[in-house]
Amino acid sequence: MADFLGMMKQAAQLQSKMQAMQAELDSITVEGSAGGGMVSVTLTAKGDLKSVKLDDSLMKPGETEIVEDLLVAAHADARRKAEAVLAEKMKAVAGGLPLPPGLLG
């Protein structure tokens, strides 16, 4: 019975840590860029898009496809960074708990 109570206590602690981490992820931002910095996007660590910046030189008629491709690339770059932040935070929160492999990322 003591093992079960200990596991329940650990689960409650994990839940509390997860809630705190979720709140923190809203305040952490990452920036991704493409085209040598001509396009940049800012995401929260949760992956919410916060801003897009375009170099003025991209705003030419006929350059739409290039801008679209650079936006996709910048978003992918930022998303990878956000996922890395999330993975690190999850390791810190779950550290020491006997969780199944792959459960946290």
The candidate with the shortest Cα–Cα distance to 89, out of 2, 26, 42, 10, is: 26
Contacts of 13 (CB under 8 A, 6+ apart): none
Distance of alpha carbon 91 from alpha carbon 17, whole angstroms: 11
* Cα 10 to chain centroid, rounded: 25
Distance of alpha carbon 45 from alpha carbon 63, whole angstroms: 30
Second-level CATH architecture of 26-94: 2-Layer Sandwich (3.30)
Along the 105 residues of the chain, how does pLDDT read in single tens digits? Answer: 668 787 888 778 778 888 888 888 888 999 999 999 999 999 998 889 999 999 999 988 888 899 999 999 999 999 999 999 988 888 887 775 555 555 544
Q: How far apart are the first and last CA of the chain?
A: 30
Predicted structure pTM score: 0.70
* Residues constituting the chain: 105
* Placement of tokens 């809203």 in the chain: 26
